[in-house]
Amino acid sequence: MSGKGVGASIRRKEDDRLLRGRGRFIGDMRFTGQVEVAFVRSPVAHGRIRSVTAPEEFRDHVFAMEDMTGCDGILAKCGIPGFKISKQFPLAKDKVRFAGEPVAMVYAATRAEAEDIAATVSLDIEELPANYDMREAMKPGAPLVHDEWPDNAFLEGLVDKNFDAMEEAAIKVSRTVSTSRQCMAPIEGKGCIGVWDRQLEQLHLWTATQMPHIVRNGLADTLGMDQRQIRVVAPDVGGGFGWKGMLQPEEVCVSWLAMHLDRPVKYLEDRREHLVAASNCREHHYELTAYATEDGRLLGLDAVAHVDSGAYSVYPFSACLEAAQVGSILPGPYDFGAYRCKTYAVCTNKAPILPYRGVARTGVCFAMELMIDAVARAAGLDPMEVRRINLVKPEQMPFRNITGKDFDMGDYPESLRRAAEMIGHDRIRERQKSAEADGRKVGLGYSTYCEQGAHGTSVYHGWGIPMVPGFEQSQVRLTPDGTLEVRVGNQSHGQSLETTLAQVANEVLGVDPEKVNVIHGDTAMSPYSTGTWGSRSAVMVGGAVAASCEKLAERVKHIGAHLLQTSPDHVRIGEGEVRSETGAVTLKEIAATWYLAPQHLPGDVNPDGLELTAGYRPKVDTGTFSYATHAALVAVDTDTGFVEILDYVVVEDGGVLINPMVVDGQIYGGTAQGIGTALYEEMPFDKNGQPLASTLADYILPGAGEVPAVRVGHMETPSPNTRFGQKGIGEGGAIAPPAAIANAINDALKESGVEMTVSPITPHRLLSAIMAAETEAAR
């Protein structure tokens, strides 16, 4: 229409403030009379609290759980049969269950003074043996994280589809595959400010969150308050990745204290707290056996998967989210006939595991894609070829896979073919025939995956959890000067929603995106929403904005047609105008008529005016399936174990892209995080359950020097189920890199027999494996 709607790579509206350092984050905010909070955290991973004591002079500044009258534990209910519910008190009560768990809250005029007081608080804790290894924690006699449970499993699951008669298979390969525990590490950590508004008799919680409405639900439950008494606002939020998709104990504490003191209370997480006590994710362990024909055709997969879920299930839900998904998504984009997967969501003495960008898929993709390469090695075939013959074919679409996932549309083998072409598959195979001048070994690796996004009611209602997404709503208001306000209940923490939702409005109404304000992240200012998670915003919120703009368009056309002295059937809307064959009237004139000169309105005008709420849910709400193939070319230094990514290609299909530039940005960012998973990021624990990476000198994140210029190729298969054919694609970049890079490293070292199956592939791990292979060869 105007070249700024769906499909246009316009620049991000929010960047004007964000790139100039003019955003407003929690850390930038300060209220008159504000005090700051520091938490006293458990120094041990597991123990019984005997006492928490503060010196008399600071007694009024220190709070333990027993002081927090009216505050209950956080309860993340789940209705899945057999799921064990954990109750997490915002400040530990009776027992501490992970190192870094908040035990006491201290306030003072400044954070530094609060820390001074925190240092005087003494904790008397009887230390108990800690569960630091999820498989050990499942053995009889392991210390119980929750005393009232019979064992340490949040949930066990079994998916069994036709798993028989596999022993006939020509190829049988078994591997143990695991991904290490990580932290999400958004640039901005957690932070919140609680303020009691005396006029409205309302708690205002300003907080770095992805889901303000869900936080309000949880706060009301935990604090025993009416929802009308709580307003939750997310200002600018500096990345979330899942870490901010939960009710955090610190949010409950700060809210309570703000009401208790009747003063603004601020808490800002520091990096050390973030690393040791917070956003844990990704720790999976797999025992896998794949069966295939001698020509590499996959027959079946048998798996046992453990996910280290940490000590609690966070609100609204976390503990078995990954393990349960592993069972259903492990088969990935492949078509094969027999499958069995036993899963364990294990409770350990670590910070709760949280759904991090790619939720379960990064580990699943790592496991499955390494098995595809293992099958290829056993069959003596190129891994690319084994992928090609096993991927679901376009003529099978829409396809229901072995676990009942409904793939909407797509040509998966084509994404592989194009990725191979872009990276220069044949050229690389030729290059590998001779030695590299610098003595390093080069290798090529692939990874293909699909990403279910925007899954809705039909997927989640069976989980019995406090967050089941339903219809998504958007409010629109044409203001008296013809500009547009769009209100949505999700939250943009880097996804460019202020731009892309304005583009959706432009697509329908023709209003210039510069004249559209997207108002989000505020329970008082927006319709209810479960928030921003699960690659859902483009599909769900984009669909809702389109629906509300369409209804508004009808009202606008009705008035416009009257002003043009014609009927609504004879006008259309575009580029900020309502046009008939003979004339045009601007939205500004139409708005001015409604608000300022109602005497000129048609007699049958809709009295509801130029603002409305409309909702949306796709007819098929089991989710969109975007997919991609990643291809990595690496060089391995066999004297150091250091890996360099020489080239990296992504060929994706996200359906119709609302803003292709923004999608490219999502892919670059996700891929950078995936490279972190592949090569750098790891939160190790010792046998006492102590996290060992407490600063960014120990927890290595990839930087600009480690992330190559990713080359992206686009395919576009519109989803038949969504408003514009768009699919959720926000998480995908982070899913495939660990598998693609590991496969590339293993390809480089194929002759030596080195096969890495643990992420991250650190230089130490890799050099250790190389040396072991050398010793083996010398024997």
Site residues for other proteins per CB under 8 A: 110-112, 115-116, 119, 270, 272, 639-642, 680, 695, 697, 700-706, 762-764, 767-768, 771
Rounded alpha-carbon distances, angstroms, from residue 202 to 194, 198, 225, 232, 724: 10, 7, 10, 10, 40
Q: Which residue has the tokens 């055709």?
A: 297
Considering the complex, state which of residue 134 and residue 710 has its C-beta at the smaller distance from other proteins: 710
For residue 247, the 8-state DSSP code is B
**Shortest distance, CB of residue 63 to other proteins, whole angstroms?**
20
As a whole number of angstroms, the distance between CA 24 and CA 4 comes to 27
Q: How far is CA 609 from the centre of its chain?
A: 38
Considering the complex, state which of residue 114 and residue 578 has its C-beta at the smaller distance from other proteins: 114
Rounded alpha-carbon distances, angstroms, from residue 161 to 182, 342, 401, 408, 451: 32, 12, 11, 22, 22
Six-digit token string for 401: 């896979």
Contact criterion met (CB below 8 Å) for 375 and 747:
no
Considering the complex, state which of residue 31 and residue 642 has its C-beta at the smaller distance from other proteins: 642
Number of Cβ atoms within 10 Å of the Cβ of 75: 16
Number of Cβ atoms within 10 Å of the Cβ of 173: 18
**Shortest distance, CB of residue 671 to other proteins, whole angstroms?**
16
**Shortest distance, CB of residue 438 to other proteins, whole angstroms?**
9
- How many CA atoms does the CB half-sphere of 448 hold within 13 Å? 29
The backbone torsions φ and ψ at residue 134, rounded to the nearest 5 degrees and listed phi first, read -65, -30
Number of Cβ atoms within 10 Å of the Cβ of 371: 27
Considering the complex, state which of residue 118 and residue 314 has its C-beta at the smaller distance from other proteins: 118
Considering the complex, state which of residue 300 and residue 641 has its C-beta at the smaller distance from other proteins: 641
**Shortest distance, CB of residue 184 to other proteins, whole angstroms?**
18
**Shortest distance, CB of residue 194 to other proteins, whole angstroms?**
20
Considering the complex, state which of residue 468 and residue 701 has its C-beta at the smaller distance from other proteins: 701
Six-digit token string for 702: 């990839």
Contact criterion met (CB below 8 Å) for 241 and 356:
yes
**Shortest distance, CB of residue 697 to other proteins, whole angstroms?**
6
Counting every residue, how long is the chain? 779
**Shortest distance, CB of residue 664 to other proteins, whole angstroms?**
24
758-759 and 171-179 strand pairing: parallel
As a whole number of angstroms, the distance between CA 610 and CA 590 comes to 10
Contact criterion met (CB below 8 Å) for 146 and 84:
yes
Considering the complex, state which of residue 584 and residue 696 has its C-beta at the smaller distance from other proteins: 696
> Which amino acid is residue 23, in one-letter code?
G
**Shortest distance, CB of residue 353 to other proteins, whole angstroms?**
24
**Shortest distance, CB of residue 38 to other proteins, whole angstroms?**
8
339: CB partners within 8 A, 6+ apart? 159, 160, 161, 162, 163, 300, 301, 302, 330, 331, 402, 403
Considering the complex, state which of residue 480 and residue 703 has its C-beta at the smaller distance from other proteins: 703
Considering the complex, state which of residue 470 and residue 763 has its C-beta at the smaller distance from other proteins: 763
**Shortest distance, CB of residue 634 to other proteins, whole angstroms?**
16
Q: Burial level of 43, CB count in 10 A (0-12/13-18/19+)? A: middle
Residue 54's nearest CA partner among 33, 40, 35, 43 is 40
Considering the complex, state which of residue 704 and residue 778 has its C-beta at the smaller distance from other proteins: 704
As a whole number of angstroms, the distance between CA 448 and CA 522 comes to 38
Considering the complex, state which of residue 330 and residue 741 has its C-beta at the smaller distance from other proteins: 741
**Shortest distance, CB of residue 115 to other proteins, whole angstroms?**
6
Q: Which residue has the tokens 């319709």?
A: 527
Rg value, the chain, Cα = 27
Rounded alpha-carbon distances, angstroms, from residue 18 to 188, 587, 704: 13, 30, 19
Q: What is the sign of the dihedral through the CA atoms of 237, 239, 241 and 243?
A: negative
Considering the complex, state which of residue 113 and residue 611 has its C-beta at the smaller distance from other proteins: 113
As a whole number of angstroms, the distance between CA 408 and CA 720 comes to 7
Residue 305's nearest CA partner among 279, 332, 336, 283 is 283
Q: Burial level of 728, CB count in 10 A (0-12/13-18/19+)? A: buried
**Shortest distance, CB of residue 112 to other proteins, whole angstroms?**
4
**Shortest distance, CB of residue 690 to other proteins, whole angstroms?**
16
How many helices, marked H, and strands, marked E, lie in the chain? 18, 33
The backbone torsions φ and ψ at residue 537, rounded to the nearest 5 degrees and listed phi first, read -65, -45
Considering the complex, state which of residue 75 and residue 767 has its C-beta at the smaller distance from other proteins: 767
Considering the complex, state which of residue 556 and residue 635 has its C-beta at the smaller distance from other proteins: 635
Residue 653's nearest CA partner among 315, 406, 410 is 410
Considering the complex, state which of residue 702 and residue 733 has its C-beta at the smaller distance from other proteins: 702
**Shortest distance, CB of residue 705 to other proteins, whole angstroms?**
3
Considering the complex, state which of residue 277 and residue 541 has its C-beta at the smaller distance from other proteins: 277
**Shortest distance, CB of residue 768 to other proteins, whole angstroms?**
5
Contact criterion met (CB below 8 Å) for 680 and 743:
no
As a whole number of angstroms, the distance between CA 340 and CA 162 comes to 8
Rounded alpha-carbon distances, angstroms, from residue 523 to 301, 463, 737: 46, 25, 36
**Shortest distance, CB of residue 341 to other proteins, whole angstroms?**
34
**Shortest distance, CB of residue 752 to other proteins, whole angstroms?**
15
Considering the complex, state which of residue 182 and residue 659 has its C-beta at the smaller distance from other proteins: 182
